[in-house]
Amino acid sequence: MGFERDKATRPPVKYDPALHHRRSIRLRGHDYAGRGVYFVTLQTSDFRPLFGTVVGERMALNDAGRAAAACWRAIPEHFPHAALDEWIIMPDHVHGIIVIRRDGHPPVGAKNISPEPGRANGCSPGDKRANDYSPLRPRGTSRTIGSIVRGFKIGVTKSLGGASAWQRNYYDIIVRDRRALNNIRAYIRNNPANWNVHRYGKPRFFAGNRALLDLPMTAFLASRGDGNGTHDGNGKWQTLCDPMRWPDQPVCVVSGFLSPMERRVFDACLGRNIPIVWIMARGIPVRLPPYLQHAIDNGRLFAISPFDPAIDRFSAARAAWCNQYALHLASRAVIGQFTPDGMLACLLADLQHDISVCYLDPGAAKAVGTQ
């Protein structure tokens, strides 16, 4: 079978408001009109590639993409309390960092963070301005991040002749510190370079039982957390690392198994004889440890990788690819430890198909909402 599975063959997923939260993460009680730094993602309706294409790891905008870029650049003109940081117009989505200020004071929760000058999509100075299409002015007195996103969407939609361009929701992450800001800047900046790998890359190296790819798969992903996958003292995380204790017991678990909690789930799956699809962020070693070879020989493990066996070290870019490919293969996802402004949140914002998402972290569940 091919690895680019026909999405139409996936069983339909019934919408469950307690589980489906991938397009919008809202911190309940947070003042979205107050000072802050926000990473927002907007996706086109049905993921249509409206804004251009990626050529040679660079984004080439078409007329619609140039109109969207002009509307984005014009945001501070219509929302003076907003400043732009890193942003990118991609074929079927937009990523951007927006800084909300009040009276020139720095944002709350993001001390010493200021927009980087000149951050843009690489459009030429002669591109049309947003005012050539439609005003982005906020309705009434609303000054929230949602008002800014809504104004941008309206401007782009009008520039396209009024045809609906966007999915209803958007996804936002509250950027809390310099480290998170720099990580998200890098994620946005590298989006074009990662485009073909994320969308079209195929594993080329395999070991184990290929038939496991025909099973319904549950992706398990977790942020690094405190570094050991057990950030409480009462054994809660150790318990949740057992897939048999998840709300729905998985038939097969797929992951890169990179973070400490993911590795604990890997060990639990081996102990429970739960089939595993391991997407490796490095080349598959010629010789595997005996316990892994035993799982392969018994048909319970399938390791796949697009990377040559000579690549024996991990990298952040390869890890991101593994997590994204796990989500591509899965019909549902279980999220363990979760950092709301971390790279896992960025990957969930970029999901390209509807799957159910279950958060095991009560803190993440409280922070998740819909727009």
**Domains (range + CATH), the chain:** 22-197 (3.30.70.1290), 209-337 (3.40.50.450)
Per the confidence metrics, is the pTM higher than 0.75? no
Which tokens belong to 283?
A: 């080349």
pLDDT at 6 over 60: no
More confident: 234 or 240: 240
pLDDT at 89 over 90: yes
Beta bridge partners of 171: 41
Mapped onto helix, strand or coil, the DSSP state of residue 207 is strand
pLDDT at 69 over 90: yes
Residues 6+ apart with CB under 8 A from 118: none
More confident: 301 or 123: 301
Q: What is the mean pLDDT of the chain?
A: 76
Q: Which among 157-166, 196-205, 296-305 has the top mean pLDDT?
A: 296-305
Residues 6+ apart with CB under 8 A from 324: 198, 347, 350
pLDDT at 312 over 90: no
pLDDT at 131 over 80: no
pLDDT at 118 over 90: no
pLDDT score at 289: 93
pLDDT score at 310: 86
Q: How far, CA to CA in Å, does 155 sit from each of 91, 131, 192?
A: 17, 9, 24
Beta bridge partners of 94: 42, 89
pLDDT score at 37: 92
pLDDT at 371 over 50: no
More confident: 134 or 73: 73
The percentage of residues in the chain with a pLDDT greater than 90, rounded to a whole number, is 38
More confident: 211 or 354: 211
pLDDT digits (tens, 9 = 90+) for 221-237: 998 865 444 454 446 66
Confidence band for 353, pLDDT divided at 50, 70 and 90: low
Check if the beta carbon of residue 97 is closer than 8 Å to that of residue 31.
no
pLDDT at 204 over 60: yes
pLDDT digits (tens, 9 = 90+) for 71-88: 999 999 999 999 999 999
pLDDT score at 33: 52
Comparing 50-54, 80-84, 109-113, 118-122, which segment has the lowest mean pLDDT? 109-113
pLDDT score at 343: 72
Comparing 31-45, 121-135, 161-175, 192-206, which segment has the lowest mean pLDDT? 121-135
pLDDT at 261 over 80: yes
Which tokens belong to 318?
A: 């390869």
More confident: 118 or 77: 77
pLDDT score at 126: 37
Check if the beta carbon of residue 264 is closer than 8 Å to that of residue 231.
no
Confidence band for 47, pLDDT divided at 50, 70 and 90: confident
Confidence band for 171, pLDDT divided at 50, 70 and 90: confident
Parallel, antiparallel or unpaired: strands 332-335 and 217-221:
parallel
